[in-house]
Amino acid sequence: MEQKKISFYRLANEGIDAQTLQRIRHDKPVTTETLGKLCEIMDCQPGDLIEYLRTDKHESQVQDCQE
């Protein structure tokens, strides 16, 4: 958002609801529908907005499957 100079105010005016904006501010999950809306507003691809980070829980599940 910073690179595109798009504010939370503009996202709200474009139809992103307050609860969703709050989730974004606090790095909480959002729906794929919201991700699509953000990409449309910001003229970008999902990979420009999100990054997959492996968690300890996931790593332990992968290790359990390999045993």
The whole-number pLDDT of residue 65 equals 46
Task: Give the 3-state DSSP-derived string for 5-67, with helices as H, strands as E and coil as C.
Answer: CCCHHHHHHCCCCHHHHHHHHCCCCCCHHHHHHHHHHHCCCHHHHCCCCCCHHHHHHHHHHHC
Let me know if residue 60 belongs to a domain: yes
Higher-confidence position of 59 and 5: 5
Let me know if residue 61 belongs to a domain: yes
Number of domains in the chain: 1
Q: pLDDT, tens digit, for every residue of 9-34?
A: 999 999 999 999 999 999 899 999 99
Q: pLDDT, tens digit, for every residue of 33-62?
A: 999 999 999 999 999 988 888 877 655 454
Let me know if residue 34 belongs to a domain: yes
Let me know if residue 36 belongs to a domain: yes
Beta-sheet strands, E only, within 9-67: none
The whole-number pLDDT of residue 66 equals 42
What is the amino acid identity at position 67? Answer: E
Domain that holds residue 49: 8-66
- Mean pLDDT computed over every residue of the chain: 82
Let me know if residue 48 belongs to a domain: yes
